[in-house]
Structure 1
Amino acid sequence: MNFIKNNLANVLTLGNLFSGCVGAIHLITGDYAVTALCLIFSLVLDFFDGFVARALKANSSLGVQLDSLADMVSFGLLPGLTMFKALEPFGNILAGIHFPFEIKYIGLIITLFSCLRLAIFNIDEEQKYYFKGLNTPSNTVLVFGLYYADQEHQSFGFLFGNAGILILLTFILSWLLISPVKMIAMKFKSMKLKDNYPKLVLVIGALIIVAIFRVAGIPMVVIYYMLVSVIFRKQLTS
């Protein structure tokens, strides 16, 4: 029983990794609905592995390392590949200039900065009740959510029809991943309502956005998350 107790969270983490691998494969082949499902599974498993580890008091150094390695695929490789796919139709042309390489590879910069962010998070002891910079799951939901909504419903044609905007978005998100901007983490210091106003505002607003915009609202929620984090930034560390 001790073996199961000590490793249940790690099994969930490996499930996150497996789901991320499957999602990446289907993203490359153009089966975006399966990738979306895999991303949902990875998000759920990523939440519950930490929850289970804390509930069973089975936190370990191995679990910390496994979590980052799994996240690197599910929330590091996946958004980079998404931007890679988004830039693929433009070939080697940007703003009328022919480059000696295909510009789709610029999208993988997101993967590099996701790796850097995860490494920084592992050694930063301040990020217990808030994040510094955009966390990798939120970044993945934003990037893939935008792409999926456009592929399925042509919701963001203005964005995916312009390589320059996509590359600018790539650099902005890469910076946000390692920025010092404090953002909300869904971890509770206390159950007092006044201590959790930012989280309450975030959850209610997110539900309203998704209810109104449906699939297109999912990436909008991440933008809303960043705005709420900036507005309540002083309360995040108090």
Structure 2
Amino acid sequence: MNFIKNNLANAFTLANLISGSVGVIHLLNGDYKTTATCIVLSLVLDFFDGFVARAMKSDSNLGAQLDSLADMVSFGLLPGLAMYKMLEPFGNSLLGMNLPFEIKYLGLFITIFSCLRLAIFNLDEEQKYYFKGLNTPSNTILIFGLYFVDQYSGFFGGITSNPILLVLLTIISSWLLVSPIKMIAMKFKSMKLQDNYPKLALLVGAILILALFQLAGIPLVIVYYILVSLIFQESFGK
């Protein structure tokens, strides 16, 4: 029984890794619906591994390392490859210039900065009740969400057909991952209403955005999340 108790959370983490790996395979094969399903499953498993570890008091250094390693695939490699796929049709052409490399490889900067973000998080004891920089799951939802929505509805006006916008998005996404901007984390320091205004604003706004825009609202929620976090910067750490 102790073995199960000590390793149940790790089982959720490894399931997250498997889901992310399957998502990567289907992304490269052009099966974006299955990739989307895998991302959702990884998000659920990523939540529950921490929840189970806390509930069963089985937190461990091994679990923390496994969590980051699994997230590196599900929320690090996958969004980098999503941007790789978006940039793939443009070859080595950008701003009318022929570069000595194919610009699709620029998408992997998202993977590099995701790795940096996860390593920094592991070493930073400050990020208990808020994140510093955009967390990797949110970044994955933003990058893949834009791609997925644009592929199936064209709601964002064909953003994936503009290589300049995609390169700018890659730069912004990479910077946000390691930026000093404090971001809302859904961890409650207290149950006082005034201590949770940022979370309430995020929750209410996210529900409204999803109700209004439905599928297209998924990446918009992440943009809203960043904006709300910027508005409430002064309230973090108090």
TM-score by length of 2: 0.99
Matches for 1:4-19 after TM superposition, within 5 Å: 4-19=4-19
Task: Please name the residue that 1:232 is paired with.
Answer: 232
Query: Aligned letter for 2:234?
Result: K
Counterpart Cα distance in 2 of 1:185 and 1:158? 31
2: distance between equivalents of 1:156 and 1:27?
20
- Matched to 1:159, the amino acid is I
**Unpaired runs of at least 5, structure 1:** none
> How far 1:147 sits from its partner (Å)?
0.3
Distance in 1 between residues matched to 2:171 and 2:227, nearest whole Å = 19
Q: Return the alpha-carbon distance in structure 1 between the equivalents of residues 195 and 14 of structure 2.
A: 34
Identity of paired residues, percent?
70
Number of the residue aligned with 1:26 = 26
Q: Does 1:103 align with 2:103?
A: yes
* Corresponding residue pairs, total: 238
Distance 2:154 2:29 in 1: 19
**3-state SS in 1 of match to 2:131:** strand
1:54-69 equivalence runs, <5 A: 54-69=54-69
Task: Return the alpha-carbon distance in structure 2 between the equivalents of residues 219 and 92 of structure 1.
Answer: 28
- 1:173 pairs with 2:176: no
What is the distance in 2 between the residues matched to 1:210 and 1:32? Answer: 20
Matching residue of 1:70: 70
The reply on whether 1:201 has 2:224 as its aligned counterpart is no
Q: Which consecutive segments of 4 or more residues in structure 1 shift more than 3 A?
A: none
Equivalent position amino acid for 1:210 in 2: L
Whole-Å Cα distance in 1 between the matches of residues 157 and 77 of structure 2? 24
For structure 2, the 5+ residue unaligned runs are: none
- Offset, 1:100: 1.7
Alpha-carbon contact 2:145-2:219 (below 8 Å) kept: yes
CA distance in 2: counterparts of 1:156 and 1:78, whole angstroms = 21
Letter in 1 for 2:99: F
Kindly provide the amino acid, as one letter, of the partner of residue 19 in structure 1.
Answer: S
User: Residue 93 in 1 paired to residue 70 in 2?
Assistant: no
The offset of 1:158, in angstroms, is 4.2
Compute the displacement of 1:161 (Å): 1.8
1:38 positional shift: 0.3
**2:146 maps to what in 1?**
146
Q: Matched residues in 2 for 1:191 and 1:212: separation?
A: 30
- 1:192 CA displacement: 1.4
Name the TM-score, length of structure 1 as normaliser: 0.99
Residue pair 2:150, 2:158 contacting (<8 A) in 1 also: no
Q: Secondary structure at the match of 1:144?
A: helix
| Partner in structure 2 of residue 184 of structure 1 | 184
The alpha carbon displacement at 1:194 in A equals 1.4
SS in 2 for 1:131: strand
Task: Tell me, in whole angstroms, the C-alpha distance in 2 between the residues paired with 1:158 and 1:81.
Answer: 19
Cα-to-partner distance string for 1:172-201 (whole Å, 9 max, x where unaligned): 110110010000000000111111111011
Which residue identity lines up with residue 125 of structure 1 in the other structure? E
The answer for the alignment partner of 1:137 in structure 2 is 137
Deviation at 1:157, TM superposition (A): 3.2
Output aligned runs, 1:216-231, within 5 Å.
Answer: 216-231=216-231
